[in-house]
Structure 1
């Protein structure tokens, strides 16, 4: 079993001051795969102090040198790609092929996009062509607490660290205690990239401990958090006394509007997207809202696709889905599946319990409910598992009303070959992102939501903007 109890603080691996042991559970086997240490308040104070001490030097480092540092991180990351893939596969259950391609690949993608964006970023520029005497300077926010989730570990770590680093901030990273092993490797990557001591610090801990301490710490200038909406509210409350900046990327309940004129692959594409990463994605299209004339065929097709999806251990090669992350999540998903049955939704695929042949591990049957109404619990709550709800609509106006009738506003989806309709819907849907006809957003496009899905944007130049203050200076020499 892996033992990794140290933290990376001020450029060195140090033993905890007030740590306690925590077992990391392999969700494929339900057995411990590693032991780490969860930090205490003294550890939090040490990490923040290191970041604070390093801030004057790093904030004064020219942008070109910060970009060079990020380029070194990118190269060091590539060299540890397989180590990262293996770590994420065992700790949070991503099938190894998916872990290599998507989980590791997401981090490479974001780092590369930040390098490109930083080279074009207006770090210092005149206010306008007409007013060169007013200078606009983009300056680091300061000491940043970066709190990341277990479901897309490297995706979220690189989105936060890449932007914070190149913008001139110093930072303390607190990864999820469910998936800390990849973060330890990432700290080794930062060390290999020769990032100055104190600029990047890694501190393992839980939300109630280190997470809450960082959120309220008077020497932390910004908290960037990805996780549940409930935890986001608590962080906002904890941060309020010190008026620090808070960036939140929270939950979602994405609507996938499938019109009668959608392409032939629209339903299959929606189901597979929902089941990807075992449904553990905040931007999952978990409500498929189908036009009445296509509804029955869509239900039949969605059920068939779900039944064709195989489930198995994360260590096995192949295009299957793995377990959900832990027992708490497994029980929550089972309860919500039961709630769907109890409230009258029609179960057309999957259901309660583990898939056939799997009697150990946190495996969930790929599940599809039909005849769901938007007042049912499974249509309101973020399930965070491989569970799809299918609803029916008669008119475009009704589709929009159903889609927007949710506390969340992260990603919505539109499937239609009518260009004018897609443009109308893109403007009417209340979400930070709208994806249409399976087309991915471009490199560096902003990621983030509105309403209970959070605030701020990540990726590309938008991600950098979230980690800088804007300073206006008058009387700048011509």
Structure 2
């Protein structure tokens, strides 16, 4: 049976009250909106108001950008050595760890992530800062000697102010994934968090203040994407825009910033396949399939949301899969036993439920799913759902649902599996399960995705490039690949001798000895 007990068998499942509103953080200070606007942020478990959030407009964005611009051009940050910047990043990581439980519980209150998973996200946030602190000190250039005449070298230099626009799923971890390399490279930042999950960004600003990061280096402006986000994208003093979110929004952002020739890093939507061949370790593949789509409440960009299952094992695998999905523990996100909590917002719940209805109308079979119990009715809960008898041309197989919904599609041959895997607009991740390693490498190479895991769930190596193909994004982040976006190459040419210089404008003059 699914776990649905909101009382928690004696556990303390009460959310701590939030006594203060979420303010902007500009030039080292917490401030209200210039125009005085506010909006509510909701607890998705109950849909009660958690607190009010300052509603940023173009005026607030301009204040934040000017502070970041001054901090970069006139302050100490742009002039610091990489080693000095790295010390600040390590201090931020230390502070995140000190406040780890508070951050995790804020994330649960704001997003509905199960507490056990939110704690992992808080730990990863600290790891992001430690990792890029080390990477900052490893940034190197290249030299191009030309005999004894020239020494030419290329170095990486920071760009300036970066606009960082983050999504509402795992907001703490994904914010640090951008902030850490941005600051490590020597840039300054203006973060625009998603309006549905602003609380950990505010706490992160408190941590930045606690470690005495120079004012203006890191700024936060809350607000709605079409107002605050748009102002940040269009601001003339923001040359860098890093965005994680849905593909349609990414397209709009690129259009709005194109006139200024801004540089973009885009991690967008996904509809990632999990290809299970009949020679796979089915026990491990089953674990990975279930975890890959239902963890993080299904609100994961790299979720393996399309199961491509070889028809010779389809019946057995789908039956075992359905039993596992039925047993997933749906419940209060502060209960450590909960595996799936509520979706982020009533609007998103309605969107996911639309796809559940659409799947049935398209002719797919809902093998697992249905109504949630009455005791969960106040929140944005959706039962973990499995559709079988799905065709790849159905909307539920083509469009990103971004919820705890898996579709199962059969295939017969390797070639058919590859065609099905590539038969969507997205290309973020792929997962391949087979004992035939030659086939595994062959399929991984041919699937159109920025990342592929063989006989593994989504285990991240922070050194590797992260990003997608097709409509799943532009550019790569992670490891030194992040610095391809957050730095510019500068080439310096040094003459080592008296090389010949052509002389113009000397006709008729006395020849120089």
Q: Which interval holds the TM-score relative to the shorter structure? A: over 0.9
What pairs with 1:12-411 in structure 2 (closer than 5 Å)? 12-56=29-73, 57=75, 58-101=77-120, 103-122=121-140, 124-127=141-144, 133-263=151-281, 264-351=283-370, 353-355=371-373, 357-411=375-429
Larger CA Rg, structure 1 vs 2:
2
Q: SS of 2:151's equivalent? A: coil
Counterpart contact for 1:268–1:301, Cα < 8 Å: no
SS at match of 1:43: helix
Q: Write the distance in 1 (CA, Å) between the matches of 2:263 and 2:396.
A: 33
Structure 2 distance, partners of 1:268, 1:301, is: 11
1:442 aligns with 2:461: yes
SS of the aligned residue for 1:297 comes to: helix
Question: Runs of 5+ in structure 2 lacking a partner?
Answer: 1-16, 498-513
Alpha-carbon distance in 2 for matches of 1:47, 1:433: 35
Distance 2:156 2:417 in 1: 42
Q: Given that residues 32 and 54 in structure 2 are in contact (C-alpha distance below 8 angstroms), is that contact kept between their aligned partners in structure 1? A: no
TM superposition shift of 1:320: 2.1
Q: 1:311 touches 1:355 (CA, 8 Å); kept in 2? A: no
Q: Offset at 1:82?
A: 1.2
Residues paired across the two proteins, number: 475
- Calculate the TM-score normalised by the size of structure 1: 0.96
Normalization by structure 2: what TM-score?
Answer: 0.90
8 Å contact from structure 2 (residues 42, 345) kept in 1: yes
- TM superposition shift of 1:225: 0.6
CA contact (8 A) 1:268 1:302 kept: no
CA drift at 1:242: 1.1
Question: Residue deviations 1:317-356, cap 9 Å, x none?
Answer: 22421000011111111110111111111111113x3246
SS of equivalent residue, structure 1 residue 446: coil
Check whether the contact 1:114–1:444 (CA below 8 A) recurs between aligned residues. Answer: no
Q: Distance in 2 between matches of 1:279 and 1:216?
A: 32
- Cα deviation for residue 442 of structure 1 reads 2.5
User: Hey, what does 1:7 align to over in structure 2?
Assistant: 24
Distance 1:185 1:5 in 2: 9
Higher mean alpha-carbon deviation, 297-306 vs 278-287, is at 297-306
CA distance in 2, matches of 1:333, 1:77: 33
Alpha-carbon distance, 1:373 to partner: 0.8
